[in-house]
Each structure stands twice: as C-alpha cells, then as structure tokens.
C-alpha cells in the first residue's frame, strides 16, 4: 500500500460523504494547498472506514486530530500505523 493509494481512498470516501465526484474534490483540495487541507469533521466521518480497510487503528489523541486536518497527513498516519502493525506482527 502506498501513500497515494491511501490518499485516493480518503478522497473517494470524503467525496461519497459529500456526494461529489472524487476527481472534482481532489482538484478543490489540491487548489487549497499541497497538503490538501480538509475539514477535520469530514475526515473523522471517513476515519473508521479507512481504519477498517487498511486494518489499522489511529489513537484518539491530539496528534491524530492534527493529522486529520489534511489528506496527506491523514494518509501518512495510516501508512505509519500499517508499518507499525507489520513490525509488531513480525516481533510476535
């Protein structure tokens, strides 16, 4: 899984939540800045689905709340959690 794949899923889920085309939403987000800032309430709305699809859990803390403010930071957090799961499973 790559960061781009995670970003695509996050955008697809947010687009579905807002009932807009994912390509149009991506354009709007990219125009807002390189990190693709988003309303954190919208990100929270898709958080559970992203966690389930990638088999990760993000902690309910300040750091995660900050990461939900942009698509790229959200994707990086999911990727880091997935990498941590792999390391934990190997160590078991």
pLDDT in tens, 27-82: 999 999 999 999 878 888 899 999 999 999 999 899 999 999 999 999 999 999 98
DSSP assigned state of 37: B
**What pTM does this model have?**
0.85
What is the structure's pLDDT at 80?
A: 93
What pLDDT is recorded for position 62? 93
Cβ pair 67, 77 in contact under 8 A = yes
Q: Which pLDDT does position 40 carry in this prediction?
A: 79
How far are the Cα atoms of 15, 27, 86 from residue 20, in angstroms, in the given order? 5, 12, 34
Distances (CA, A) of 25 to 20, 31, 68, 82: 7, 10, 16, 26
Q: Is the pLDDT of residue 89 over 80?
A: no
Q: Which domains are assigned to the chain?
A: 3-91 (1.10.1200)
């Amino acid at each position: 899984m790559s960061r781009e794949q995670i970003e695509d899923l996050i955008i697809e889920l947010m687009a579905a939540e807002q009932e807009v085309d994912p390509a149009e939403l991506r354009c709007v987000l990219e125009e807002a800045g390189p990190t693709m800032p988003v309303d954190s309430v919208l990100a929270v709305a898709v958080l559970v689905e992203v966690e389930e699809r990638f088999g990760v859990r993000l902690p309910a803390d300040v750091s995660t709340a900050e990461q939900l403010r942009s698509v790229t930071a959200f994707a990086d957090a999911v990727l880091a959690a997935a990498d941590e799961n792999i390391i934990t499973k190997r160590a078991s």
